Structure 1
């Protein structure tokens, strides 16, 4: 018996070694030797918008010196698997889309969801019931119906569901879709109002968990599979619009006692649950509380986060994304919402808005994020509709007076990632020798590497791209973003 056990142990060890060798071989397969590089550029004060600007070749690299600026890519060091990039189809987006001509609707859909004609969105967030980006508050049930007998998504069938279906179709028939509630019904809450915060009353924890099930099943009947749901949009913010507060402990308990078990019981255990769904400032504390409880943690796919912690005037807390990633490497990270606040129609082409996207995306990906979701995909010439006046920017606006689409620089900056980094890509170790540049790289499953380089300075910069032992020299204009595909 001991001999057989020894043989089994040896066999397992051998298989383990072979698996490790295979993995090492796969990570070392990519080489820049003899590769051609296509450079795509978007730059301020130019007409360059995702424009091919250069074709380069690699040569053998020598030791760079300190006076040179370099971007270093090490293909053998791989990290998280990329899920995708996308935006939110809100009621506001769907209502404005419906006002466009058929020609402009096709242009819009292609711009976001077609991988060749547009930027190839592969993620989609939507709302459960109304948010501030709806023409008004509404519910899927009659007020007081705790048994959900009146549940109906007829409201969504007018604008939102048709747009989601068109997006899925344009994306090739599949798009990862997840849904988020902004507030339970007024009768379920402590303040008896869907607006202005309040909390979910304990006696309605189960009916509210049942509500998610109803939503998911009704959307699936419409041919819209729901990949995941978050527990609550911004659970620490008392907003003038639809909102609901959960402490970390309250979210943990709702997750482990109601939402998780209810989804599993109803045959929806495959639906991913995203916790937090709020800013980076408190995400570590929320992760600590929820993940420290095994019963809650087992139901949670990962932490969702937003970028609005800068409302205090303090800089973005990218390091908190890294802290969660290093503490809980078996859990995922998803950027679930970001937009430029305080709409101003004189700033459609305001370049720092786009640079905010570039910096956030590079830092979030480099800190372990697997997916990144913009907020509204479309708003009107007022930054709405929004029933509480919280008007914001979208990456594309529609002027409903002229019927024209307005592409902001943010659209192109997002496209430098979403068009060239595709689902199932692996993030690759990338660093810069000077803070003048920011960079990230992903190796796509087709063997193509995409390195994104961002220059937020006032100067054109010449830099080395050094990929393992190979090098090329690139120029990036002032206030520009480049994607190098090789």
Structure 2
């Protein structure tokens, strides 16, 4: 399936996020996070074998034409489920694994996927700081990966502010469910506004019963629903919200810092070809009437309540203000001179 996907889009980037090491490497002898009441973590003698396991895994995928762009050492290391794979891993232990085992093993094998550890919620910045405060680990990892289920997306920007050279990745969120405190459009906008280079939704495709269900979240939804009996595909709201960005903002684009106009939220980008993209969302209960001004040019637009719109154009600007949203009551500027990290 991955090979087919890459045939359709050669620019796809693949990321691997293990939920658990093999059972024999863990203290509870199971791939479950908790088994027979025992919480599993990595055996002290299996750090080096796990690093070799990563090397062989990456090489095996490469041999099948699937290069891995990024890896996380452990999915959600602070959560130990008893109904599906997981593993408890203290920040200090994951840090030691990265700098003493994983990074050297990858280097010795000539492999260079981005290592983006933590891979857990916004509410625990101390885990990220433990990793980044170690100079060796900070050198070897690309940045920190985050999930959306607890905390606030501003945590990503806070950590990045302390370590500007560290990249930011939002690597999992199941929006529209009891598991997630944030809507898809807010996740997309606020992740970008808080330095994230990626936004990843969980899951991409499920059946009409939101399965297969392998434990954990009972109401997590797919970006699309596929009826295996008929072959019909139902495109959910998440699909279209992702499209508001992914159809227009291309790899290598820069996010241009922006703020909001009342209930109108917006994010702006500059693509490598110079084209500009603005995605706006009306979070209010009534229509939002506004102007988009760019230099000495502009247009009016009415955005219905709850709706999202994307604008894209090319050209050169005549003033220092790239983009301006205005209404009778207020004016908001998107600063064309403040540039933050590129999207992958």
Give the Cα separation in 2 of the matches to 1:209 and 1:302.
19
**CA deviation map 1:363-402 (0-9, x unaligned):** 1101111122222211111111123264420110112343
Give the Cα separation in 2 of the matches to 1:204 and 1:341.
39
Contact kept? 1:340, 1:394, Cα under 8 Å? no
- Corresponding residue for residue 364 of structure 1: 191
Structure 2 unaligned runs (5+)? 35-39, 314-344
Pair 1:193-2:30 in alignment: yes
Aligned CA RMSD, in angstroms, stands at 1.8
- Corresponding residue for residue 7 of structure 2: 169
What's the offset of the Cα at 1:421?
0.3
**CA deviation map 1:190-218 (0-9, x unaligned):** 11110124100110011011111011000
Contact kept? 1:441, 1:449, Cα under 8 Å? yes
- Corresponding residue for residue 473 of structure 1: 300
| 1:7-22 mapped onto 2 (5 Å cutoff) | none
Pick the aligned partner of 1:298 from 120, 139, 142: 139
For the residue of structure 2 that corresponds to 1:253, the secondary structure is helix
For the residue of structure 1 that corresponds to 2:127, the secondary structure is helix
How many residues align? The count is 305
Give the Cα separation in 2 of the matches to 1:389 and 1:301.
29
For the residue of structure 2 that corresponds to 1:384, the secondary structure is coil
Give the Cα separation in 1 of the matches to 2:120 and 2:71.
14
Give the Cα separation in 2 of the matches to 1:277 and 1:368.
16
Greater shift, 236-245 or 396-405, is seen at: 396-405
| 1:45-60 mapped onto 2 (5 Å cutoff) | none
Give the TM-score normalised by structure 2: 0.85
- Corresponding residue for residue 226 of structure 1: 68
For the residue of structure 1 that corresponds to 2:191, the secondary structure is helix
Give the Cα separation in 2 of the matches to 1:469 and 1:275.
45
- Corresponding residue for residue 280 of structure 2: 453
Give the Cα separation in 2 of the matches to 1:342 and 1:425.
30
Higher normalized helix content (fraction of residues) = 1
- Corresponding residue for residue 254 of structure 2: 426
Structure of higher CA gyration radius? 1
- Corresponding residue for residue 335 of structure 1: 170
For the residue of structure 1 that corresponds to 2:257, the secondary structure is strand
Structure 1 unaligned runs (5+)? 1-162, 310-315, 344-351
Contact kept? 1:437, 1:453, Cα under 8 Å? yes
What's the offset of the Cα at 1:468?
4.7
Give the Cα separation in 2 of the matches to 1:397 and 1:429.
35
Distance 1:469 1:251, change over 3 A: farther
Give the Cα separation in 2 of the matches to 1:331 and 1:212.
23
Contact kept? 2:176, 2:184, Cα under 8 Å? no
